[in-house]
Amino acid sequence: MRRQRSAGAAHIHEGKIVVTVTIAEEPWDSADGVRLRRAMQAELAARYNMPDQETEPPNAETITVFLIARAGGGDATGCGALRLLDDGRAEIKRMHVAPQARGTGVATRILRALEDHARQHGADTVVLATGIKQPDAIRFYEREGYQPIDGYGPYLGEPLAKCFTLQLG
């Protein structure tokens, strides 16, 4: 039996557990943002047995929006960023959910908010890259309707990358 995890304050509504989470834009260099991104990088370094190899890492100047998910008590439980590309697409970057909040819907809420921001900025397509050693992320994006692509930009021909796209409606 799977243990129920809580990402925030929970209550029962119509027989279902509802977790209270807020998603809001925050500065890229906020303490919680830095902490969440460092945790993500540490997790990836352990999976791939190497430090981050990204050739064009996002930063405050290249990110259009940076979102943080907070549990009902205010604890930061996840993050994600959006970067507009020169060809009119938007790229999702630095999606991460703290282990204790996984399986609670936080990732889906962050992803939908990033897609909404992409639409607001005129993008009709979203792209992202995850890695071949991240089967949980691959399943998540496939479940959310993202289609695999060969690659894009710096990920073309990158053997460790698994890239996806979604046409925004």
Rounded to whole angstroms, the Cα distance separating 38 from 46 reads: 12
Q: In terms of pTM, does the model score above 0.75?
A: yes
Contacts (Cβ under 8 Å, ≥6 apart) of 72:
8, 9, 10, 19, 20, 21
Confidence of residue 27 (pLDDT cuts 50, 70, 90): very high
pLDDT at 14: 58
Mean local confidence (pLDDT), 5-20: 50
Per DSSP, 160 falls in state: T
pLDDT at 47: 92
pLDDT at 5: 34
Mean local confidence (pLDDT), 7-21: 55
Give CA angle at 27 (131, 51), nearest 5°: 30
Mean local confidence (pLDDT), 155-167: 95
Identify how many contiguous H helices and E strands the chain contains and give both numbers.
3, 9
Confidence of residue 2 (pLDDT cuts 50, 70, 90): very low
Q: What is the pLDDT of residues 110-143, one digit of tens each?
A: 999 999 999 999 999 999 999 999 999 999 999 9
Partners of 79 in beta bridges: 68, 96
Partners of 131 in beta bridges: 161
Side-chain half-sphere exposure of 11, counting CA atoms within 13 A: 5
Contacts 24+ apart (CB under 8 A), 135-142: 136/102, 137/95, 138/162, 140/107
Q: What is the pLDDT of residues 38-95, one digit of tens each?
A: 999 999 999 998 877 677 889 999 999 999 999 988 999 999 999 999 999 999 999 9
Which segments of the chain does DSSP mark as H helices, in order? Answer: 31-48, 106-120, 135-143
pLDDT at 72: 87
